[in-house]
């Protein structure tokens, strides 16, 4: 895809467009590449959130994985709007997606403080 010839006369100075690509068949590859990302990034984040929830793991792991999955979905939504002619939505969606992924990563890697026991366990003196 990097070697695809471009027709600069079709470029708009204020927004990017796929119309400049001379080899139109190249755009048929992007859904397959994006499907790979969906399966591995979004799919594993959702699977992790579900597993952590079932294991009753700390809530920061569940919430963090949900934020990562949501953040990974947003650029795809922005890309759909781009195909409809609303290119600006892509930039906002990508920015929000990166913020959510970053925040989800922070939550997943946060070290939890041990909970102090208010009463001594039974039998311990």
Which residues, in sequence order, are CB contacts of 103 under 8 Å at separation 6+? 64, 67, 71
Instruction: Round to whole Å and give the CA distance between 64 and 54.
Output: 15
Instruction: Round to whole Å and give the CA distance between 15 and 31.
Output: 22
Q: How far is CA 6 from the centre of its chain?
A: 29
Query: What's residue 4's pLDDT?
Result: 79
pLDDT (tens digit, 9 = 90+) per residue, 12-56? 777 767 778 888 788 788 788 888 888 899 999 999 999 999 999
Domain ranges of the chain: 27-108
pLDDT (tens digit, 9 = 90+) per residue, 57-111? 999 999 999 999 999 999 989 988 988 888 889 999 999 999 999 999 999 998 7
Residue, of 16 and 10, whose pLDDT is higher: 10
3-class secondary-structure state, position 9: helix
């Amino acid at each position: 895809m990097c070697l695809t010839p471009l027709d600069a006369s079709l470029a708009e100075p204020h927004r990017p467009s796929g119309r400049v690509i001379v080899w139109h068949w190249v755009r048929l590859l992007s859904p397959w590449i994006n499907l790979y990302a969906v399966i591995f990034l979004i799919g594993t984040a959702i699977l992790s959130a579900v597993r952590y929830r079932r294991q009753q793991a700390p809530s920061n792991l569940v919430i963090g994985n949900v934020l990562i999955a949501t953040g990974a979905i947003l650029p795809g939504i922005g890309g759909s709007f781009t195909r409809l002619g609303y290119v600006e939505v892509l930039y906002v969606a990508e920015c929000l997606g990166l913020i959510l992924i970053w925040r989800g990563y922070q939550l997943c890697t946060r070290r939890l403080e041990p909970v102090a026991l208010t009463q001594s366990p039974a039998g311990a003196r």
